[in-house]
Chains A and B, each alone.
Chain A
Amino acid sequence: MAARAHIDVGGILRPDGRLDLSTALQPYRQRLGERAAAHLLRRAGFGGTPDEIRRYAALDAPDAAQALLSLSPSRAIAPPPEVSAGGPIGKRKTRESLAALQLWWLNRMLTTPAPLQEKMTLYYHGHFTSRATPRFPEITYNQNALFRQYAAGNLRELTREVSKDAAMLIYLDGANNEASHPNENYARELMELFTLGVDNYTENDVRESARAWTGWRVFRRTDTVEFDPSRHDFGGKTFLGRTGNFTGDDIVDIIFDQPQCARFFAASLLNWFVYNDPEPELVDRVAALLRARGYELSPVIGTLLASNVFYSDRAYRALVKSPVEFVVGTYKTLGLSTVDESALAALQQMGQRLFFPPNVAGWPGGANWLTSGTMIARQNFLTRLLGSQTLAASSWLRDLPLTSASAAQDLAATVLQGDAAPASIAELEAYLGGKGSAALATLSVENYDQRVSGAVYLTMATPAYQLS
């Protein structure tokens, strides 16, 4: 019950203990080892296969961060064929193409050689939120591709681009924003949710920004976006204390010149990669770095992922896995090669449907992921997955030792990096060995599959497995 007192509005919790600000962002100069490597791969991606964890374990922190940041180019990635059908498409096709797009992305998260690229794409999806435009799946795909292109790119440029992205123009009414009757929806959310936060601008700034954004149109059939000068308000505007004949791009530049904008993204990135509700002093340090680097993300993410604070005990298992991290991470851990369609219904029941964030503020995260309903959905997903897969499909489960003590140790080490209470590991060993139950024989070749899949379920049902 004590932990309840820590929950502030939003169910977002900061870890206990004190921050050492002087060393927080300094590089962590040690060889990672498996526990820290698994931590890094969970945060920078969707967890690691046992092989990936071993590979990263041999690196030191700066090298590991650099390895994750050397991203392969994203333009080569083709969307699923169901998406390229052109629009508009009928109702049934709509369901199929959305499911195809969701599965395509989940599988990309699972199999990509550049997991950080997908992790940042997911970050942007929850940050610069847009809902799917179901009858025109290409529009949804193209926004996803834009996010991937800017995975570790320049935040200011991405903000300019996403402001003129078809999915965004549709979702936040930018396409209906004309000089003759301005629509303020995008102008408001751009500042409130995407770049500055409430109370850092006036209602007049919203109105003036909306005028600057007038004139953009979307042609859904061809997924093209055009600037129509006849709809644009060319009059002078006063925005955040500056006056001029501003366009949307100018608005973004003025916003990014505000120190608050850097603080806003610094807090957001710390929440995503390190721990929730970061200390204001830490936020200021990262904000200064963002400004010094001109909002280039690559060096900033590189600093975060190699830092002492990232590898501190306070950051370890300090985040709640999102449903996508839980599902993709489970496939990864088991060494399975494909996410199948059953994952989509499970994700929805866990509270995260890709391309359908709950509202423009995105998924609130933290304690909000966990209710008894979503917890049952998590456990039932595991039961179904483990029941439907043969262990032969898993690269390492087929090779566990046939003695229950060693098998229990191996499972706890590979799935949880040892983050289980000794009593739980003892329980696991007892289960594998059939102790305490007349119905269960000792572990053998005959009962191996059934017993090991039950033991994997038990291992993944532990509290640590819900945490990143």
Chain B
Amino acid sequence: MKRSNFILATVSGLAVVANPEHVFARALAQTPLPGLPGSERRCLVLINLFGGNDGLNCVVPHGDARYYQLRPGLAIAPGDVLAIDARTGLNPALRSLKTLYDKGTVAIVQGVGYPNPDHSHFRSTEIWQTAAPDRYEHTGWLGRYFDEGSFGRDEIFKGVALSRVLPEALVSDRTDIPAVAALGSYAMIADRNAAARDAFARQATDRSLPFASPYLAHVMEIEGDAQRSSEELPKLVAGYVTKASYPATALGRSLALAAQIVGSNLGTRAIYVEHGSFDTHVSQRTTQNRLLGEFSEAIGAFYADLAAHDDDRRVLTLTFSEFGRRIEENGNRGTDHGEASPLFMIGGGVKGGLYGTAPDLAATNMGNVRYTVDFRSVYATVLERWLGRPSATVLNGEFRRLPVLG
């Protein structure tokens, strides 16, 4: 395994327009990724590891003596770590992920965060979802991507959130993205009068209403979308045959559905999935290892399923968590809210390896890992290189791309 030593700017990841590297990155963005399907056939699967996943016990700095000093009760013993190199390794629960890493399809981006980190779950989640650390945005970064793209009205499954409530990342001004917790629940409750209801809905689009409203056209469109998408989704994915054994977990079910959606070729460009809660203030080891194990097993099955359908090069999976956790363990065998943490980019189009700089446990930000990669650099990479769209308007600025793809 060739280790990538690409080290990113340590300040903010913000690149100036005149920066020659930026010009290079722009040219890079416009070149197709060799050996991969065109961007219109590619899909991003975004997994929110919510609650604040502890980065140090996920991607373990087992070569750093400070790690063992600061975490006497929580550190993962050197012998248990799934070593990547003499300094870094993976939590033992990430066995399936390590297999994919060894195949070269997992990139680990270390030290990801943003300036002036916020320690509130709520606000920091919002910052990651809206990609706006310095202001309040009511739209999400993927919502803006959809708003700016030229998608047709009939592409109703261009984005799908596998959650009960539409996540902020997919909130947009002009694009309707369905939130589908499960195939069974994304449906108008079958009512005995479905036929009459449909006939009525048809008549309801009659324009001879005795009032005008600036929202009338919007309401009618969304009502149509809701009816159509909830009726069509189960039919459209019915022909797909799952070819892997998924774990019987919520994440396993979500990723099985994600593979089904990708494999059914609905033109889906982004799928959102949630997994957690990683908020491990108390007895961290049990909870985090279980959650990481569930994650790893589900990802293993997901890529096996995708590969069996020859879809593994079409799907990039990106994880994120609102923050990492405090370097030093607390008095309850847990850790408190922290700052920067690593994230994973997984898929057949990924150039595997370690990216960014390993956390420096000596030079901390009041006991937290300092960020060295702005998360918007990761988003810019995904937008430009994977989804094939300019990122500056979506992200409200230019951010340096990572050479993770193609």
A318:B204 contact, CB within 8 angstroms: no
- Chain A residues in 8 Å Cβ range of B215: 3, 13, 318-320, 366-367, 370, 466-467
Using known A-B contacts A424-B203, A431-B196, determine if residue A276 contacts B176 with beta carbons closer than 8 Å: no
Cβ contact of B226, chosen from A359, A361, A376, cutoff 8 A: A376
A420:B209 contact, CB within 8 angstroms: yes
Cβ contact of B178, chosen from A2, A361, A372, A466, cutoff 8 A: A372
**B223 interfacial by beta-carbon distance below 8 Å:** yes
- Chain A residues in 8 Å Cβ range of B180: 373
Cβ contact of B176, chosen from A6, A372, A431, cutoff 8 A: A372
- Chain B residues in 8 Å Cβ range of A419: 209-211
- A5-32 vs B, CB cutoff 8 Å, 1 = contact: the mask equals 0110111011110000000000000000
A421:B136 contact, CB within 8 angstroms: no
Name the prevailing secondary structure of the B interface residues.
loop
When A and B form their complex, what is the total count of cross-chain residue pairs whose Cβ atoms lie within 8 Å?
185
Contact residue range for chain A?
35 or more
Give the distance to chain A from B168, nearest Cβ to Cβ, in Å.
7
- Chain B residues in 8 Å Cβ range of A15: 212-214
A461:B191 contact, CB within 8 angstroms: no
Cβ contact of A421, chosen from B187, B208, B218, B230, cutoff 8 A: B208
Q: How many residues of B contact A (CB 8 A)?
A: 56
| One of A105-113, A152-160, A377-385 contacting the partner | A377-385
How distant is the Cα of A148 from the Cα of B212 in the complex, in angstroms? 34
**A316 interfacial by beta-carbon distance below 8 Å:** yes
How distant is the Cα of A371 from the Cα of B188 in the complex, in angstroms? 14
Cβ contact of B188, chosen from A348, A374, A376, cutoff 8 A: A376
Give the distance to chain A from B192, nearest Cβ to Cβ, in Å.
7
A371:B178 contact, CB within 8 angstroms: yes
- B198-210 vs A, CB cutoff 8 Å, 1 = contact: the mask equals 0111011011111
A11:B193 contact, CB within 8 angstroms: no
Tell me the chain A residues, 377-403 only, with Cβ under 8 Å from chain B.
Answer: 379-380, 383-384
B209:A463 contact, CB within 8 angstroms: yes
- Chain A residues in 8 Å Cβ range of B177: 371-373
Using known A-B contacts A367-B218, A370-B222, A380-B189, determine if residue A10 contacts B212 with beta carbons closer than 8 Å: no
Using known A-B contacts A371-B222, A376-B187, A431-B200, determine if residue A13 contacts B193 with beta carbons closer than 8 Å: no
Using known A-B contacts A276-B214, A318-B213, A383-B191, determine if residue A427 contacts B199 with beta carbons closer than 8 Å: yes
A358:B222 contact, CB within 8 angstroms: no
**B164 interfacial by beta-carbon distance below 8 Å:** yes
Residues on A lying within 8 angstroms of B by beta carbon are: 1-4, 6-7, 9-11, 13-16, 131, 193, 275-276, 313, 316-320, 348-349, 351, 358-361, 364, 366-368, 370-376, 379-380, 383-384, 418-424, 426-428, 431, 436-437, 450, 454, 457-458, 461-464, 466-467
- With A15-B214, A380-B189 known, 8 other A-B pairs at CB within 8 A are A3-B214, A11-B173, A320-B219, A358-B168, A368-B173, A421-B204, A461-B201, A464-B211
Residues on B lying within 8 angstroms of A by beta carbon are: 122-123, 126, 136, 138, 153, 156, 161, 164-166, 168, 171, 173-174, 176-180, 186-189, 191-193, 195-197, 199-201, 203-204, 206-220, 222-223, 225-226, 229-230
Please name the 9 residue pairs, one residue from A and one from B, whose CB atoms are nearest each other, closest first: A3-B217, A421-B206, A13-B214, A373-B179, A372-B226, A375-B226, A423-B203, A372-B225, A317-B213
